Structure 1
Amino acid sequence: MIPAERTSTGMPEATRMSQLRHVTKPAIATNRGQFYPLRCRPLNRRAGVVLPLASSTEASMTNLYFEELQIGIRSAAGPYSLSKEEIIRFAKQYDPIPRHIDEELAAQSVFGGLTASGSHTFAIYILLSGQLQPHFQVLMGLGWDELKLTNPVRPGDALDLEMTVLELRPSKSKPDWGIVRNKNLLRNQKHETVLECISTIFVARRPDANVSPR
């Protein structure tokens, strides 16, 4: 009898391939309930674990036009991990308040420790906004309403952003643009909201779209 071929891990090749065939590729959801599979690569051949394979051009990014959006669809980005050094460096330059730059003084504050500046938290929100998946064909922002900083951001926090479409309407002055209002929630690893707001943005309409009101 010919012995079964084995991989460098000691596992029979046929067994390993059988396990890999049962691994489900991760996917991102679009507003229409469709899923676009991400490119994957093995993280650990022994366990057959896969992770999304990112590229510099983000080949898996979905850029949605105004016509492709629906009320209630969600986009997500993150996590963004925050270090003590980054909190202090940002605060020294933009918001030099003791509770953001001095650990001993911060321990005596109402927050009981070092916290990120509110402007730093908002800057992270802006950064993650540009990384949301699915991504929209955003032309420009119009502003933010009901901005709240509901919990302090501390060293070691990992922040995720979730955006939900609340309202869609075509622009009256720019027929090839659409106006989208969204609810934004920035949360830490404990799922505590640290920032929330309503954003209004212009999103491009399809070049071949009928520009009459929806």
Structure 2
Amino acid sequence: MHENEPAVAGVFQDMLWFEDFTVGQVFEYGDWEMRREEMIAFAKLYDPEPFHLDEAAAVAQGWGGLIASGPQVAAIWRRLSKEAVPNASTVISPGWDNIRWLKPVFAGDRLSARTEIAEMRELGSRPGEGMIKLQNEMRRQGDEVVSTLNSTWFVRRNPA
């Protein structure tokens, strides 16, 4: 078990189908503490910019402290979203769009997420599935938006 397990209430116990979601539905979830050592480890593997690896370099470049890699913040959103809706009958996500890193994320920040269902439609090319488009925000300390991204899910229709 990862020491930074998100605190997510087990709201959804049964399988969620396409028909269980509605446009305008909002989910608020997650509690992830940004830990310096995890930020540096991620940056060493995937995004070795000096401001992600070294506190002094980040300060010298005007960031005010070590900052997290944007792709790490997006990956944390994905983890939190899966924990929040573990029983969605999601088939696949064909992609993410419009990823924006609006503000730096620092060690010690606590991230949570807000997701709103923006669009839904049945898929004619995949009769047993529907498409759900999501607008997502990552927030620092509960209210300050630090990043946004749009995502899409293909979700199974209820066979009953």
Is the structural similarity TM-score above 0.5?
yes
Q: Distance in 2 between matches of 1:135 and 1:183?
A: 19
CA 1:134–1:163 in structure 2 vs 1: closer, same or farther (change >3 Å)?
farther
- Segments of 4+ moved more than 4 angstroms: none
Aligned residues of 1:75 and 1:134 also touching (Cα < 8 A): no
* Structure-1-length-normalised TM-score: 0.66
2:117 to 152, 165, 174: 165
CA 1:201–1:173 in structure 2 vs 1: closer, same or farther (change >3 Å)?
same
Give the deviation of 1:134 after TM superposition.
7.9
1:89-138 C-alpha deviation (Å, 9 max, x unpaired) = 11111111111111111111131210001111111111112112485321
Q: Distance in 2 between matches of 1:182 and 1:147?
A: 12
CA 1:73–1:190 in structure 2 vs 1: closer, same or farther (change >3 Å)?
closer
Aligned residues of 1:176 and 1:205 also touching (Cα < 8 A): yes
User: Which secondary structure state, in structure 2, belongs to the residue aligned with residue 178 of structure 1?
Assistant: strand
Identity %: 36
Tell me the equivalent position of 1:64: 16
1:138-166 C-alpha deviation (Å, 9 max, x unpaired) = 11101112211111110001111111111
Q: How does 1:196-211 map to 2 (within 5 A)?
A: 196-208=148-160
CA 1:194–1:62 in structure 2 vs 1: closer, same or farther (change >3 Å)?
farther
Give the deviation of 1:60 after TM superposition.
5.1
Tell whether 2:132 aligns with 1:177.
no
Tell me the equivalent position of 2:81: 129
Tell me the matched-pair count. Answer: 154
> Which is higher, the Rg of structure 1 or of structure 2?
1
Q: How does 1:109-124 map to 2 (within 5 A)?
A: 109-124=61-76
Give the deviation of 1:194 after TM superposition.
1.4
User: Which secondary structure state, in structure 2, belongs to the residue aligned with residue 136 of structure 1?
Assistant: coil
CA 1:62–1:163 in structure 2 vs 1: closer, same or farther (change >3 Å)?
farther
CA 1:53–1:116 in structure 2 vs 1: closer, same or farther (change >3 Å)?
closer
Q: Distance in 1 between matches of 2:80 and 2:120?
A: 22
Q: Which runs of 5+ in 1 are unaligned?
A: 1-51, 209-214
Q: Distance in 2 between matches of 1:134 and 1:76?
A: 14
Q: Which runs of 5+ in 2 are unaligned?
A: 1-6
Aligned residues of 2:36 and 2:107 also touching (Cα < 8 A): yes
User: Which secondary structure state, in structure 1, belongs to the residue aligned with residue 121 of structure 2?
Assistant: strand
CA 1:183–1:135 in structure 2 vs 1: closer, same or farther (change >3 Å)?
farther
Q: Distance in 1 between matches of 2:8 and 2:99?
A: 34
What amino acid sits opposite 2:102 in the alignment? T
User: Which secondary structure state, in structure 1, belongs to the residue aligned with residue 151 of structure 2?
Assistant: strand
User: Which secondary structure state, in structure 1, belongs to the residue aligned with residue 52 of structure 2?
Assistant: helix
Tell me the equivalent position of 1:82: 34
* Structure-2-length-normalised TM-score: 0.87
